[in-house]
Amino acid sequence: MTLPAPAHFDELLTTRVQALAPRALRPGECQTPDGAVCALCHASRLSYAAELEVKQKALAQFAETALEGIRPEPLIPSPQGREYRATTKRKMFRNRRGFALGLIDPDDGGKLRALEVQECVIEPPVHGRIYGLVREFLQSPAGSPLSAQLRHVVLRGGATEQTLVLTAGELSGPVLRSANRLSKLLSARVSSLAGAFLYEDASRGSHYLGTGRAGARPTFRKLFGRSELFLRVLGRPFLFPPFVFSQVNPFLLERMVLSVAELLELDPRGTLFDLYCGYGLFGLSLADRVREVVGIEVSTLSVAAARRNAERQRAGNARFLAGELTAERVGTLFRGLRTSDRVLLDPPRNGAAAGVIEAAAARRPHRVVHIACNIDLLPAELRRWKEAGYRLTRAVPLDMFPGTGTIETLVALQPA
C-alpha cells in the first residue's frame, strides 16, 4: 500500500486504520445511546493486536519522513491495551434540553460537542458506571446547584481504586452541599471509590483542571476519603494529590523507568538532574543508582509530593526544587556539570520551554534522555538538540496511549 507522506503521525495511522475492516462491536461498546459510533480513538475499529501491527508500520514510515531517517527501536506494547486509562474525564455541555456529560468531540469547524459514550473500551468499566451515576444525580433536583456550576468530572485511578474530582466555577454553599450529597451517594454505591474532591475552576479554560497560572496552588474541598493517589513502581511506593500530573497508563510505568535507566547509562558517582520531575517517579526510582538526584518542577503540589515520597522511601540523596524551568534556571543548576552527571527531561505535551534545551546543551552533559509524549513534536525537539550540538543515539517508542494517534518516545542524546 503506497501512502502519501503525512504531516503528522496520527494522519498516517488514521489512513492505515481506515483501510481495514472495522471490528464488530458489542451493544453499547464505543457507542452513544442512539447508536452513533465513537471515532475519537482507533479502539472502536481495531483489536489491540491489530492496532499494534498498524502502529509499527506507521511508525516506520513516520521515522523515514519526519525523523530524517532515524530508525526507532520496535514499539514496546502496553501490557494492557484496553481498559488501561488511569485518568479519564467528561465535560459538561449545556444545551436547550438541559445538559450533556460526555467526551469532547470536535467537529470539522473546531466546535466542541458532547459524545455520551456508554462504554469506552480504553477506560476501566467502573469509570463508565461512576459517570452514569453522576449523570443521574445531576438530573435530580438535589443535583441542580452542582449542575449549574459544573465544568468537568474527572476520575483518577484504575479498576481497583478511583478518586473523583468535580471541577466547578465556584465553591458556594449550595454547590458544596450538592456535591456532598453526590459524594455520599457514590461512596455508598461504589465500593472502590476511595475519595472525592470539589475543585474550583473560575478560568473557564479548556483544560480539565483550569488554565490558571503555572505553579499556582488550587482551591478545592475534600468531600470524603483519601487525599492522595497511590502507585507502586519497582517496589517503591508513590503518593501524590489528584491535581498533579501522572501517566495515564500505569501498566507501562515500570518498563518505562527501566528503559530510561538503560538509556541514561547512569554513573554511581554522578548526579541525575530530573527536569519536570513531577512527584519524583523517575528520580526516586533511580536514586539508588547515582550519588545524588536533583529534581525541579513548577507545580508546588508535585514538589511537595516528591519530597514526601523521598522521606517515605528514605532517599536522603534526593532533593526537589520548586520553580519554573527557564534557560537561566537550567544554566545555574548545571554549573559545574561533570561527565558522570546525567540529565532527564520529561516536559509537558507542548514540549520543553524556550531556551531550556539550548541552556542544557551549553553545559555539555555527557548523556541526556528526553521523553516526548507527543511524537509529532519530536522532530522539532530533536532539531533543537541537533542545532545545539547533540546527536541522537537511540529512540525507544512505548505504546503508552493505546487507541490514540500518538506514541511516547524516549530518545537518548550525547554531544556530536
Question: 304, 301, 309: which is closest to 283 by C-alpha?
Answer: 309
pLDDT value at residue 217? 73
Domain with CATH 3.40.50.150 in the chain: 232-415
CB atoms within 10 A of CB 265: 13
The distance of Cα 52 from the centroid of its chain, to the nearest Å, equals 20
Q: Do β-strands 271-275 and 342-345 pair in parallel, antiparallel, or remain unpaired?
A: parallel
CATH level 3 topology of 87-226: OB fold (Dihydrolipoamide Acetyltransferase, E2P) (2.40.50)
* Segment 252-289, tens digit of pLDDT: 999 999 999 999 999 999 999 999 999 999 999 999 99
CB atoms within 10 A of CB 132: 13
For residues 167 and 151, give the distance between their C-alpha atoms in angstroms, rounded to a whole number: 5
Domain with CATH 2.40.50.1070 in the chain: 87-226
Mean predicted confidence (pLDDT) in 330-350: 95
For residues 172 and 149, give the distance between their C-alpha atoms in angstroms, rounded to a whole number: 10
* Segment 197-211, tens digit of pLDDT: 999 987 766 566 655
- Judged by DSSP in three states, 36 sits in coil
Question: 140, 141, 147: which is closest to 99 by C-alpha?
Answer: 147
CB atoms within 10 A of CB 250: 18
pLDDT value at residue 64? 85
Long-range CB contacts for residues 24-33, cutoff 8 Å, separation at least 24: 26/119, 28/118, 28/119, 29/118, 29/119, 29/121, 30/117, 30/119, 30/120, 30/121, 31/117, 31/118, 31/119, 32/115, 32/116, 32/117, 32/118, 33/116, 33/118
Active-site amino acid positions: 373
CATH number of 232-415: 3.40.50.150
* Segment 390-405, tens digit of pLDDT: 999 999 999 999 999 9
**Cell numbers describing residue 147:** 449542575
For residues 394 and 318, give the distance between their C-alpha atoms in angstroms, rounded to a whole number: 27
Of residues 303 and 106, which shows the higher confidence score? 303
